[in-house]
Structure 1
Amino acid sequence: MTNPTYEFRRAITRRPAASIVDGLRAEDIGTPDLDKMLAAHTEYVAALKSTGAEVIELPPLEAYPDAVFVEDTALCLPQGAVLMRPGAPSRLGEVAEMAPAIRAVYEDVREIKGPGYIEGGDILVTEREILVGRSARTDAAGVAELAEIAAEWGHKLREVFTPEGVLHFKTDCSLMDGETILATKRLDASGCFEGYRVLHVADGEEAAANAIRFNNLVLMAAGFPRTADMLSREGFEVVEISNTECAKLDGGMSCLSLRF
């Protein structure tokens, strides 16, 4: 059996739209440059494809500036997919835009109906459980609704808490292999990863924690040399991709694809 938590045959991505300049951001550190973002996105898709995976590339959505961050719209599991309910009102419509692509590849598609909210960026699937971080975008009711669906499919879900001032749980962590998690010290200090092997990103390189293990590769944001070196020493094959423009919108490597 292949390992479902980091071995993937397919991914879904969406090209950034010109409206990306109006994307949500926790603090304004500059307007994203569309050309630079498109170049980095092309590199990202090429890295996914280089592992032999099929990448479904969806067209830009001008009406939804944040739609490039497809991960927040759905959770893809081996048994089926769950359409999310984003906590940012301007992003709710993205789910309906993603639904046809999900239904085309999954027979069993459920949806979070509310009143709660939950976004994919707060969900880390490991071999033993689904970790869901409560955050400004994911509330208790959203977590509870997902827990019911996950239980029907035989998954154990555990609610944890995203640090204050951190947008999504996965802003600060990512799965490296069956038992290893890359995390910031502040998130690990909460005790949420007890029983896992945890690798800490280098001090001052907290943004490197949002990486993805995709088949044989670890895709991480460029510009964090100490963390990249540490991962290479640990035996991971690291591919560094520019994240300067996505970072202006609190986005990272995991946000840019749905993987299944």
Structure 2
Amino acid sequence: MFKNVIVRVPSKTISEGLTSADEGKPIYEKALVQHENYVSALTKTGVNVTVLGPEDDFPDSCFVEDVALCTSKCAIITRPGALSRRKEAALPDMLEALQKFYDTIEYIEDPGTIEAGDIMMVGDHFYIGLSARTNEEGAKQMIAILEKHGLSGQMVEMKEMLHLKTGLAYLENNNLLVAGEFKTAPEFKDFNKIEVEISEAYGANCIWMNGYVIVPEGYPNVQQKIEALGYKVLVVDTSEYRKIDGGLSCLSLRF
């Protein structure tokens, strides 16, 4: 069960965020409303939400998931692969927020790069995608830290997706949403795979929260498949974040 969540309010500079999508620039006012609705949905799942203020110097800083991995034993500050995001991992208010919940905080060091959007937690085991943002050295450091704390990790080769969790979402109870290249990845053969069509690939980025699954708005087939498994579904519009390669999981740290 998750007890706590950390989010960061989007900044007025959000329209300058990194993107590979060809969907125009996000509109700040709309992004703000969508963020408020996202926090409201999280609150419905029974967690305590810590809201950090906007950081105008960092257009992507609302995507807090990438800068830290929150485990049951420790928090690990990452070293983002995107140069423009590297200093986000050292923002004092994030460190302060994590220190309220964790006695132990570990760090990924140069030359390792890793963004936690590439890390999927399944119990005490962590799948780490090797992407344009996460290199082998970063993954090795992360696995060493996890093992030091009695947890485990493994690397997953990737070719297509921006982040591992762009195309995967673990919904607990061995249920795994899979899209694109991960449908046939051998690492996930033993899961009950719920396949997401290419037309709804963005909808693969959902989050399980204490028996609820938060699903992005506009992906009815994904929503239907999740409801058919018996989960309570909360739908949140993240269309402004999609414009800068962001989804539901990117917007929060959950632990």
Would the TM-score normalized by the shorter structure come out above 0.5? Answer: yes
Alignment correspondent of 2:81: 87
Alignment correspondent of 1:21: 15
Post-superposition shift, 1:194?
A: 2.0
In structure 2, C-alpha distance between the alignment counterparts of 1:68 and 1:230, rounded to whole Å: 29
Normalised to the residue count of structure 2, the TM-score between the two structures is 0.96
Post-superposition shift, 1:128?
A: 5.1
Alignment correspondent of 1:3: none
Q: Which runs of 4+ in 1 moved over 3 A?
A: none
Matches within 5 A, 1:210-249: 210-249=205-244
Gapped runs of 5+ residues in structure 1? 1-6
Percent of matched pairs sharing the same residue: 36
Alignment correspondent of 2:171: 176
**C-alpha deviations, 1:39-66, integer Å up to 9, x for none?**
1111110111112210000000001000
Aligned residues: 253
In structure 1, C-alpha distance between the alignment counterparts of 2:150 and 2:194, rounded to whole Å: 28
In structure 2, C-alpha distance between the alignment counterparts of 1:194 and 1:18, rounded to whole Å: 43
Out of 52, 59, 67, the residue aligned to residue 65 of structure 1 is 59
**C-alpha deviations, 1:101-132, integer Å up to 9, x for none?**
21222100000012110001000000252100
Q: SS in structure 2 opposite 1:18?
A: coil
Post-superposition shift, 1:217?
A: 1.1
Give 2:233's aligned amino acid.
Answer: V
- Greater CA deviation, 33-42 or 11-20? 33-42
Q: SS in structure 1 opposite 2:73?
A: coil
In structure 1, C-alpha distance between the alignment counterparts of 2:22 and 2:195, rounded to whole Å: 27
In structure 2, C-alpha distance between the alignment counterparts of 1:63 and 1:203, rounded to whole Å: 35
In structure 1, C-alpha distance between the alignment counterparts of 2:187 and 2:240, rounded to whole Å: 30
1:106 and 2:102 are equivalent in the alignment: yes
Alignment correspondent of 1:259: 254
In structure 1, C-alpha distance between the alignment counterparts of 2:42 and 2:81, rounded to whole Å: 28
1:47 and 2:28 are equivalent in the alignment: no
Alignment correspondent of 1:205: 200
